[in-house]
Amino acid sequence: MAGFAELPEPLSGLNSNDRPPPGQMRLRLLLAYEGGAFDGWQSQPNGRTVQDALERALAELLGERRVVHGSGRTDAGVHALGQVAHVDVPEKRLALHAWAAALNGHLPKSVRVLDARKAPPIFHARFSASGKVYTYRLWNDRCLHPLEVGRAWHLPVPLDVNVVRATAALLTGTHDFAGFAANRGKPEKSTERSIGKIAVFKSGPLMRLRFEGDGFLYRMVRMLTGSMVRVAQGKANMAWLEELLRQPKGRRTSYCAPADGLYLTEVKYGIRAGKAGGALVKNTAAP
């Protein structure tokens, strides 16, 4: 078979209104991956990303390049339990139930296709999403368990879980989160986001923060987590956190939690889906 670089150019580009060409179907993928094995989601020249791994697997199966569209980027080291992507594939190449196993046979063990199903032609993994859920794991104990290396942020100094819950309540809601976003190199159209819930779970040394929202800015969950921990350690107060919410312009937290404690847990699809031909579309085939 020809090398990956020698294959024909992909059929599908990034376009919120594109549809599969005749004879093709839109395949929706539910993915999990161990982020430490990759330099993030988005394709890079070194080819060491999740998107690159998926596109190589498809090239080996189909003999031609296909673009895989994810629901959003994850940084190097960030894990996924429920990333969603889509790709257009020949409708009769494989039985629908065979796609997941076929792709997994060509993927490294650090990424798995958990489910593959046919999606409506207007479905777009990114533009049809109505929200996301992220989980951040903290290991709050003197000693980090060896099986948690690369899976959680080790914090040996005790955290007050009640203070963590108080910061979670403060940050929940619709706010301008510019003070909790890193610079990606281009300005955001809006830095206002809605966080529906930040749940805090504690079981022994493990603390989990579950963020549910309509969308998140670049590194927002990690910067929120880092700031929440700062307050819970007594190194900053609630007033500092409130000030970042009330007057975010020109101010930004400098506390960003490590990547390896973060997990993209779920991508939600529902009433506030994507646009097709200017009309809102309801998506019901959620993973």
Q: Which residues are the active-site residues?
A: 75
Report strand pairing: 131-139 vs 206-213.
antiparallel
